[in-house]
Structure 1
Amino acid sequence: MIKIVNFVHVTAFLFIALALVGSAPAGASDNYIPSVSLENYWTVSGSPQLDASLAGTREFDRGGTVTLHVDLANYGRIMGFKADKKADSRMDQMLADRELDYEWERTTALGITGTLRSGNDMIEVKSGDQVIEALRAGERSRDSMNFAIKISSRTPAGEYPLFLDLSYDYQYNVEVDADSLDAEGRLRGFRTAYWYQRANETVTIPVKVKKEAYFEIAEVEADLRAGEKSGIIEVTFRNTGEEVAEDAIARLSVFKPFSSTDDQAYIGTLLPGEVRAVRFKIDVDSDATEKPYSINSEIKYTDIRGGTVISESMKIPVNVGGAKRSYALPVVAALIILAAVGAYIHRRRRG
């Protein structure tokens, strides 16, 4: 139970309300009711009504993390007034007028907390709750709620709903009272008491994953050895997206212990679902450690709108084995020995 009895203007009251909302104990009632009951001249119907929309584009590429900028708008309105107490005196009339001024704040949403949820495993929400202090009816939020989402590289193109859960408080009722009128006809000892109501809304925010060409490595054939020159790597790429990739070129980014003067391979047009194998020549340093490595690759292509696009990096797994044994020196040594033996035998026979 929260008590608010104050000699304040409604603007100052908003800040007090926010502080009380933030300090409400866990498990408290959704209604915040003051312990002091004053005079109630009006019963007002109406409440805040929040809506949310994305600022900027709602269409995104798969395989990355993006930030959604969500703007809130309050379309709440006062639906009606009902007189609960007849104003028979000058003081009653002044109290009724003062209460009516405060009742207009019923449509202001206070302490708005937004929580974004995903309805699909392919999209993950990476941000926690976002807060907007207050939003009056007929206004839009000055600052956006910002949520980071991660879109899986396996997400098919299409529209996906995200759900923004909003919780807030709003003024449910106001009561007023005063001790008397002073000699100048002003209220003396004016008091107010406020009721709050907790509200929850869920707004659906659709986001769209673009149609595009997208690639994966379907197969790799490679047998590289330390010290090898012009070793062959054969890589099969698959277009797992929904669009055609034209004039596609596969490119390698090599690093020690590898080097290459043949680090690009022409693929051509790759339709959705189609695969294409290309070859690269790789040199391996003689001091390369025998172990598995990864070589980065990417595909540069032209999309259906004529733009040049570079794909995400894809890792090509390769294994480097030990250097091949050279038999040149043993053969030479054997020939020298045979020649020496032959010369010795020849001299013996002549002698």
Structure 2
Amino acid sequence: MRSTRTPSAVAVVAVVVAVLTVAILSAVGGIAVAQGNTAQQTAAPQAGGEPDLDVHAPNPTLTPGQTNEVTLQISNDGELDYGSPELREAVTTARNVRVEADADGTPLTVESGETAIGSVTEDRPGEVPIAVSVPDDIEEGSYTVDVRVRYSHTYRTGSVVQERSRSTTVSVDLEVDSDARFEVVNATTDARIGDTGTLEVEIENVGAESARDANVILESQSAGLGFGESASDAARIGEIEAGETATVRYDVGFAPDAPVREYALDASVAFRTPEGLQRLDETPTLGVTPAERQRFSVADVESDLYVGEEGEVRGTVTNDGPVTAQNVVIRYAEESPNVIPIETAVAVGTLEAGESADFRLPIEISGEAEAVDRTADIAVQYRNADSELRLYEDVELLFDVSPKRDQFVLDVQQREITAGESITLDVEVTNNLDEPVTDVEARLFTDSPLDSDDDEAYVEALAPGESTTMTFTLDAESSATAKTYPVSVDFRYDDARGNSQLSDTTRVPITVVDGEGGVPWLVIVGALVLIVVAGGAVYYTRAT
């Protein structure tokens, strides 16, 4: 009996020990796992959630007969399933968002393909424009476009981050209405390069309803075409019925260096519907071509300019077209201290295209100028068909300036005077200018031993190249040494414009010879000859 009970007790004890051991180990393991999970949660906070994207069309209206641009707005109403609010954006942001629209099953055609717009958050929605082509004969109403949105996002954060890719399709309704819509029928301008003019645009309401308070807005796409100081302008039509055509006008200008070609203009019409709703219809880009620039040329340039004198530059101006230029004026535009225009502008009248006219510019050349060939800018001023003043400046003159010359040429035949005597000095005076002169007063200037009691002379007029003789008296002192002395003559006169001028001084050489009060060389020589002859006769008599 004793041996039988002993093994039973031992077995019971063993079972108890085993159960206690398992319990202890389980408790210790649970504590360890709990401590490990706590450590993990402290080291890496967790959150779970996902984006929730939706698609809207803020302005869903489509215009028939053209390709419309519709802006789709992508909003995000994300969901945070669990975790800290600070981690909300990490799991609700949609990354690498790609949008593609499809209008299958409708008369509409989506012209644009898939577009990437980056990330979309709850507080930063995304936008993507799509191009929708609408047939001209489409019925008014609502049409559904399917918009597929693909994106990536973080589903759960923590020690193990889960990434997902998602795709959703949202249906968006677009509205085709019968509002007014417009087409540009014709666009012309009478403006030319380097000038301003009027741009006329014919615009037709091809829609089914009238438009009220309509404004046609044009915007230039080139710096060569402008609306005054601006690149755009608006013209008011008011009300235009369906099927009606209206003409609007704008003041435009083309730059002087702009080429002759077609210039692009964007056109749009802002209007109100009969219900008072504001609409904007963007028409296709229109083109307009300016006329060629009005041009002039100058030829056959000649001059009679001399240093220190007034003269003229003459030439022929030609209107090279393409249209008539009214009240043409040649303006001298150069500035120089030595070349002074007496008249800065001379008129030549109205010139038809291809017609020419002669002109002359009176100019004065200063005495300090060099006798060289010169160039000068001129401008051709004219008025266009609207009597607006215009200026063509791509013209210059090339002319020569001759060296300084005497205004009067003097010729004195009698240039000898005997000491102690007086002579009449006749001076032939020739007008060396290219213009007539009047009231010519001559003055003779002398220095000792020469003198004059009659040192002035006068002639009423001298034509170019004409000569006259002016007479003065000239005295030589008896004690004058026999040699050459200068006398001087100058002239005060009026030129062809009536301006008083003073000529340069001209010197004339006068030779003084000995008179009776000097050594009688002829007598002495004659006496010597007589002495020699007499001596020879005596010698001959004695010898014979």
TM-score bracket relative to the smaller structure: 0.3 to 0.5
User: TM-score, normalised on structure 2?
Assistant: 0.31
User: TM-score, normalised on structure 1?
Assistant: 0.44
- Bigger radius of gyration: 2
